[in-house]
Amino acid sequence: MEWANAIVQGIVTGGFYALFACGLSLMFGVMGIINLAHGDLAIIAAYVAIALIPSTHLPMVWAFVVVVPIFAVGGYVVQRTLLQASLDRSPFTTLLVAFGMSVIIENVLLEVFSANGQSITIGTLITKSFSLNSTITISYFSVIVLAVAIMVLGGIQLFLSRTATGRLVRAVADDREAAQLVGANYRHVFGIAAAIAFATVALAGLSYGMLTEFVPTSGVTTLLFAFESVVIGGIGNVWGTLVGGVVLGVAQQIGAQINPAYQILAGNLVFLAVLAVRPRGLFGMRTA
Amino acid sequence: MSEKAVSAALLEVRGLTVYHGQLRALDNIDLAVATGETYAIIGANGAGKSTLLRTIVGLHEPKSGHVVLDGRDITREAPDRRLAAGVALVPEGRRLFPSLTVEENLLVGMHKARPGTFDMKRVSELFPWIPDRRKQRASQLSGGEQQAVAICRALLANPRVLLLDELSLGLAPIVVRRIYEVLPALVAEGLTILLVEQDVAQARQIASQVHCLLEGRTSLTGRPDEVTAEQIEEAYFGVGALPVSASAADPGG
Ligand SMILES: Nc1ncnc2c1ncn2[C@@H]1O[C@H](COP(=O)(O)OP(=O)(O)O)[C@@H](O)[C@H]1O
Ligand SMILES: [Mg+2]
């Protein structure tokens, strides 16, 4: 039954990874940006929450309502300025700029908030859990995160497949120049995609800050898990990202079950195995 | 009306010079396309035909010169603004959105549509097979079908000038003929067409004006019935290619 527990916990963690990963996948799928600062952006969201919310006297859960829109607007602005300017030069410049952003964010956070661990305290919800049976106990909060992840991914999927703007995003992702020929301002479309990506990364960062303690450099590990989820699931496939997150989460929990030291290693091994057998990921479809 | 008299052309290119890095792809090109006219650019591979059309829609920035639509200088406008102004390009190689369905490709073509006669119903009349195939991915279509959808995608924006870059590229002659068959119907609706074609016979047959490019320069312009096959051949391949002047070492210039 311990194995069943490992799998259940893995699935729940996987939802969290998928929430982290979908913004990364979107930025790469639409703009071709490998956003090395993705994890750090999530951590900024958590710090913004602890810096802003206490002064408003709102309950901490309101961080979602306040920080997510700020990040959406910020995503649009950063894309239209810094990232677009890098893209206009070259993909390599963009990679370096993202790396630079990551370094700067970590150092500024260290300077402002110190290296002491912090967390977003939301009261008793975080400790509440329910039992499926004698060995499987699941925390309410992680189920909520899983549900949010599924809703966010479903929402993105619906947006892309059913709305006119989503259709334009796919067209721009397919062929930027041809999209210009039908009248699309691709820079604006990039901005929209970045706004969505930043909003989801804020959601992920806030959830992370509520689930566990974080420090200014926590973004590096979260980036790794997000990246692995995207690659396992297959780039450009929304539901693939969820499966990728779940596969990674389950692999890590099973590894930890064998030996707690194997948790991260097991995830990395599954990642490498998928990469070796299916370089495009489990659901990769980017072949015309 | 008096303003129109000054410049009767709907689309005008004045002194256009375009570089690709060090390469001068177009050198001081002038042309004027009148409303309702079908104007053909001909020339060998690499002559600069695609560069000309792409510069007109704003995908390349000219070193000097102007692009003028109905008296308005659009040289500095972004491609999406030019589409809104009424210039649409069917690019070389079709360039449909491969992961979108036929219908989605057409809907994307409509998203900044000007008011006009072309809607889904009208383009389905031009190519009656389209409604049945609308849920298919564009990448699953044959080359000729993709070309048809690419034309419809541009038409749905209701352009004033339609630019067509080598419709016949890579297509079987019978397919090419079927695609060219729809052009007279478009002209009849008042559309102005600027097309690029390597097939000189095809161009002469359909156009009211031909304009030959040779290594980025204008080598011949005229009505198809004014110019002889020899003149075209000379303008197309350059003087050096003709046996008569094979001794003339200086290509002129
Ligand atoms: N994007 C580009 N970058 C560099 N050179 C280009 C580019 N596009 C075209 N060229 C060069 O410019 C010349 C004209 O090309 P093009 O306009 O495509 O000719 P055509 O359509 O008549 O075959 C060719 O020598 C081609 O190699
Ligand atoms: Mg060409």
Task: Give yes or no for residue B219 CB within 6 A of ligand 1.
Answer: no
Is the pLDDT reported for residue A265 higher than 50?
Answer: yes
pLDDT value, residue A281: 85
Whether A84 maps to a domain, the answer reads yes
Q: Which of the four pLDDT bands, split at 50, 70 and 90, describes residue B96?
A: very high
C-alpha to C-alpha distance for B210 and B232, rounded to whole angstroms? 10
pLDDT value, residue A285: 59
Is the pLDDT reported for residue A287 higher than 50?
Answer: no
Is the pLDDT reported for residue B3 higher than 90?
Answer: no
Domain that holds residue A146: 2-222
Q: Which of the four pLDDT bands, split at 50, 70 and 90, describes residue B250?
A: very low
Other beta carbons less than 10 A from residue B109's beta carbon? 29
Tell me which residue has its CA closest to atom 25 in ligand 1: B46
Cβ within 8 Å, pair B154-A178: no
pLDDT value, residue B5: 43
Whether A283 maps to a domain, the answer reads no
pLDDT value, residue B253: 38
Whether A155 maps to a domain, the answer reads yes
Residue from the list B57, B84, B111 with its beta carbon closest to the beta carbon of A181: B57
Whether A188 maps to a domain, the answer reads yes
Cβ within 8 Å, pair B91-A181: yes
Whether A244 maps to a domain, the answer reads no
Q: For residue B60, how many C-alpha atoms fall within 13 Å in the half-sphere facing its CB?
A: 22
C-alpha to C-alpha distance for B95 and B147, rounded to whole angstroms? 9
pLDDT value, residue B196: 97
pLDDT value, residue A217: 95
Contact assessment for residue B202 and residue B180, using Cβ atoms and an 8 Å cutoff: yes
Contact assessment for residue B100 and residue B108, using Cβ atoms and an 8 Å cutoff: yes
- Mean pLDDT across chain B: 90
| Tokens standing for residue A178 | 């041809």
pLDDT value, residue A1: 66
State percent of chain A over pLDDT 70: 98
C-alpha to C-alpha distance for A197 and A90, rounded to whole angstroms? 21
C-alpha to C-alpha distance for A94 and A100, rounded to whole angstroms? 10
Residue with tokens 């995207």: A230
Task: Give yes or no for residue B41 CB within 6 A of ligand 1.
Answer: no
pLDDT value, residue B17: 98
Contact assessment for residue B180 and residue B206, using Cβ atoms and an 8 Å cutoff: yes
Q: Determine the Cα angle at B199 with ends B194 and B205, to 5°.
A: 65
What residues sit around ligand 2, an ion, with C-beta below 5 angstroms? B 50, 92
C-alpha to C-alpha distance for A116 and A125, rounded to whole angstroms? 24
pLDDT average, residue stretch B16-34 = 97
Is the pLDDT reported for residue A54 higher than 90?
Answer: no
pLDDT average, residue stretch A157-183 = 96
C-alpha to C-alpha distance for A219 and A226, rounded to whole angstroms? 10
Note the ipTM here. 0.89
pLDDT average, residue stretch B23-40 = 96
- Residue B211's DSSP bridge partners are B41, B221
Domain total of chain A:
1
Whether A243 maps to a domain, the answer reads no
The DSSP result for B99-154, as a single string, is TSBHHHHHHHHHTTPPSSS--HHHHHHHSTTTGGGTTSBGGGS-HHHHHHHHHHHH
State percent of chain B over pLDDT 90: 81
Domains of chain B (ranges; CATH) run 3-90+161-237 (3.40.50.300)
Whether A204 maps to a domain, the answer reads yes
Tens of pLDDT, residue by residue over B186-235, are 999 999 999 999 888 889 999 999 999 999 999 999 998 888 888 888 88
pLDDT value, residue B228: 84
Task: Give yes or no for residue B45 CB within 6 A of ligand 1.
Answer: yes
Q: Which of the four pLDDT bands, split at 50, 70 and 90, describes residue B8?
A: confident
**CA nearest to A182, candidates B57, B139, B70, B130:** B57
Other beta carbons less than 10 A from residue A124's beta carbon? 7
- Mean pLDDT across chain A: 92
Whether A96 maps to a domain, the answer reads yes
C-alpha to C-alpha distance for B6 and B12, rounded to whole angstroms? 12
pLDDT value, residue A272: 94
Other beta carbons less than 10 A from residue A100's beta carbon? 14
Tens of pLDDT, residue by residue over B170-189, are 999 999 999 999 999 999 99
CA of B20 to the centre of ligand 1 (A): 7
pLDDT value, residue B249: 42
B160 touches chain A (CB under 8 A): no
Helix (H, G, I), strand (E, B) or coil at B24: strand
pLDDT value, residue A82: 97
Is the pLDDT reported for residue A52 higher than 50?
Answer: yes
Is the pLDDT reported for residue A81 higher than 50?
Answer: yes
pLDDT average, residue stretch A88-102 = 96
Tens of pLDDT, residue by residue over B124-181, are 999 999 999 999 999 999 999 999 999 999 999 999 999 999 999 999 999 999 999 9
pLDDT value, residue A176: 95
Other beta carbons less than 10 A from residue A266's beta carbon? 20
Contact assessment for residue A135 and residue A1, using Cβ atoms and an 8 Å cutoff: yes
| Phi, psi values for residue B124, rounded to 5° | -70, -25
Which mutation among B17, B20, B52, B95 tests ligand 1's pocket best, with the greatest number of atoms within 8 A of CB? B20
Q: Which of the four pLDDT bands, split at 50, 70 and 90, describes residue A236?
A: confident
Note the ligand closest to the C-alpha atom of B169: 2
Considering only CB atoms, which chain B residues are within 8 Å of A178? 91, 95-97
C-alpha to C-alpha distance for B21 and B63, rounded to whole angstroms? 11
Is the pLDDT reported for residue B29 higher than 80?
Answer: yes
Considering only CB atoms, which chain A residues are within 8 Å of B139? 288
